[in-house]
Amino acid sequence: MYAEERRRQIASLTAIEGRVNVTDLAQKFDVTAETVRRDLAVLAQDGIIHRVHGGAVATQSFLTTEFSLDARYKSASDAKMAIARAALEFLPDRNGGIFLDAGTTISAFADLLAEQHNARQWSIVTNCLSIALGLANHGIDEVQLLGGTVRAITQAVVGDTALRTLALMRAEVAFIGTNALTLDHGLSTADSQEAAVKRAMITNAQQVVVLCDSTKLGNDYLVSFAGIDDIDVVITDSNAPEAIVETLREREIQVVIAS
């Protein structure tokens, strides 16, 4: 495991558990205590954690509030539709497999996908109840809804059943939504179970396309589910901060500005 990935996981563990200690982290990541101390020093310097004797505690900078679907549909709605249209360019070749994450921008993209004249050629897997129903109502029969527990606030299916199913699958493209994106913490969300499903989709896809409007850039949520280097494409809108866009491109990530 690279140091950046280990530090990202340490930051997430600290945010979730509130406090971590050097000995436990060294055992978990199979590294020396000195390596962990260096990781904590870097994270503390970046303001991601606070050092304490023997370990670290979480800062208060990670967001945890989740908004209703209705509120999220209304937020940056024009930008989300533009992003969804731009994402159509990344649909795979004929008979390709697609992972569709839960999220309002992904939902807008799914609606546009269903209207394509050749939509039935793709095998679609999703963990979102509303997306699966919407595609089915459009007559798309190659849609698999992952099994598990439905989170009411997002209509996302989560849990061990979903993860076990995804472990057996591969897709050409995963279209992923996120609550937040930063260069240090990567992609993050409020719920650890949703994060696990997002991570599994990313792991098992050849290409990862992130749909992320500019209001989410520069924010950090509680649980990081992917580092910047885990993704291939970010589609955002014209209000995206130039510094973030430039840095993503420097790291060889394709950034599409939807208009």
pLDDT in tens, 194-249: 999 999 999 999 999 999 998 888 788 888 899 999 999 999 999 888 888 998 99
Is 66 or 110 the better-scoring residue by pLDDT? 110
Query: pLDDT digit string (tens) for 159-190?
Result: 999 999 999 999 999 999 999 998 878 999 98
**What pLDDT is recorded for position 160?**
96
Does residue 72 carry a pLDDT above 60? no
**What pLDDT is recorded for position 78?**
86
Residue 236 burial by CB count (10 A; 0-12/13-18/19+): exposed, middle or buried?
buried
The length of the chain in residues reads 259
Backbone phi and psi for residue 182, each to the nearest 5 degrees, phi listed first: -135, 160
The rounded distance, in Å, linking the Cα atoms of 233 and 26 is 33
Residue 65 pLDDT level (bands cut at 50, 70, 90): low
The sheet that has 171-177: what strands, in order across it? 143-145, 123-126, 97-100, 171-177, 205-211, 233-237, 254-258
Note the helical H segments in 168-252.
192-203, 242-250
Percent of the chain scoring above 70 in pLDDT:
92
Which residue, among 25, 11, 4, has the nearest Cα to 59 in the 3D structure? 11
Residue 124 burial by CB count (10 A; 0-12/13-18/19+): exposed, middle or buried?
buried
Is 16 or 255 the better-scoring residue by pLDDT? 255
**What pLDDT is recorded for position 154?**
87
Does residue 101 carry a pLDDT above 60? yes
**What pLDDT is recorded for position 76?**
56
Is 186 in contact with 226 (CB distance < 8 Å)?
yes
- Please, what is the angle between helix 104-114 and helix 77-87, to 10°? 50
| Most confident among 1-15, 82-96, 165-179 (mean pLDDT) | 165-179
Residue 69 pLDDT level (bands cut at 50, 70, 90): low
Which residue, among 82, 137, 133, 142, has the nearest Cα to 115 in the 3D structure? 137
Token couple for 181: 């994106």
**What pLDDT is recorded for position 218?**
79
What domains lie within the chain, and their CATH numbers?
Answer: 3-58 (1.10.10.10), 69-258 (3.40.50.1360)
Residue 123 pLDDT level (bands cut at 50, 70, 90): very high
Q: Which helix (H) or strand (E) holds 146?
A: none
Neighbouring CB atoms inside 10 A of 210's CB total 29
The rounded distance, in Å, linking the Cα atoms of 42 and 46 is 6
Residue 60 pLDDT level (bands cut at 50, 70, 90): low
Residue 9 pLDDT level (bands cut at 50, 70, 90): confident
Rounded to an integer, the average pLDDT of 25-54 is 90
**What pLDDT is recorded for position 68?**
54
Q: What average pLDDT is seen over the chain?
A: 88
The rounded distance, in Å, linking the Cα atoms of 81 and 85 is 6
pTM: 0.75
Does residue 75 carry a pLDDT above 70? no
